[in-house]
Structure 1
Amino acid sequence: MSITFTLIIQMIVFLILVWFTMKFVWPPIVAALDERANKIREGLSAADTAKAELAIANKRVEEQLSSARTDAAERLANAERLAQQMIEEAKSRASEEAAKIVAQARTEAEQEATKARETLREQVAVLAVRGAEQILRREVDPRAHADLLNQLKAEF
């Protein structure tokens, strides 16, 4: 066998191998590569979509957080305003109650003072009657009268 014949046979075998590869081996490989490229493309598309959805979700979350912060600040302000109002109402009620108590105490003090005056008047009247009685029992003597009045003062 000559080298030319061997070379020709090898070329024929090589061509058969190329034809066989192109006909039976290459299409499944190309299909697998195309399928993989499609999956990668779909994955990248899904990632881009997910990124866009994530950005939208983050924006919504920020809006909701901002709304919640605003709502919380508003509620806190309302609570503080209500607390201040309740304090003012309590102060006003306390002032009214204090005024009532002071008025009642003044009334009671006036009543006690009136009672004391009445008691004093009664005691003075009793003393005057006793003094007049004792003076009338004794003779009319200025010294005796002075002693008698001093004695009455000492009793009360």
Structure 2
Amino acid sequence: MSINGTLIAQMIVFAILVWFTMSFVWPPIATALDERAKKIAEGLSAADKAKSDLAAANQRVEQQLAAARTDAAKRLADAERLGQQMVEEAKARASEEGAKIIAAAKAEAEQEAVKAREALREQVAGLAVKGAEAILRREVNAGVHAELLGRLKAEL
């Protein structure tokens, strides 16, 4: 065989090999590569979507935390205001109660003073009667002279 014959035979074998590879081997490899590229693209897309979902979730969490902090601060302020109001009301009630107690004590003291004056008038009237009795050297009848004793009591 000559080089030309060998070269032609090799060219024919090469052409058959190319045809066989293009017909039977290359389509499954191309399909596998296309599927692999598609899966990689889907994975990258899913990763991007997950990243954006994570960012949105973080933003929602921050908003909820801010709302919770604001709500907690508001509740704390309300509780402090309510506590202050309760303290003020208790002070007002205590002040009113103290004023009532002082008024009652003053009224009671006034009543005791009136009773003491009345008792003193009775004693003075009795002493006056005894003094008059001693002056006249006779016994003064209290029942007979009740009107005189009443006027004396009123004058004192």
TM-score by length of 1: 0.71
1:26 corresponds to which residue?
26
- Higher RCO (CA 8 Å, separation ≥ 6 residues): 2
1:62 is the counterpart of 2:70 = no
Identity %: 76
What stretches of structure 2 of length at least 5 have no aligned partner? 139-156
1:120 corresponds to which residue?
120
Give the total of aligned pairs: 138
2:85 corresponds to which residue?
85
* Alignment map for 1:1-156 (pairs within 5 Å): 16-130=16-130, 132-133=132-133, 137=137
> Structure 2: how far apart are the matches of 1:28 and 1:43?
22
> Structure 1: how far apart are the matches of 2:20 and 2:130?
157
The amino acid that maps onto 1:80 is E
Alpha-carbon RMSD across the aligned residues, in angstroms, is 3.0
Per-residue deviation, 1:136: 5.1
Per-residue deviation, 1:125: 2.4
Assess, with a 3 A threshold, how the Cα gap between structure 1 residues 137 and 20 changes in structure 2: closer, same or farther. Answer: same
Per-residue deviation, 1:35: 0.7
What stretches of structure 1 of length at least 5 have no aligned partner? 139-156
> Structure 1: how far apart are the matches of 2:40 and 2:133?
134
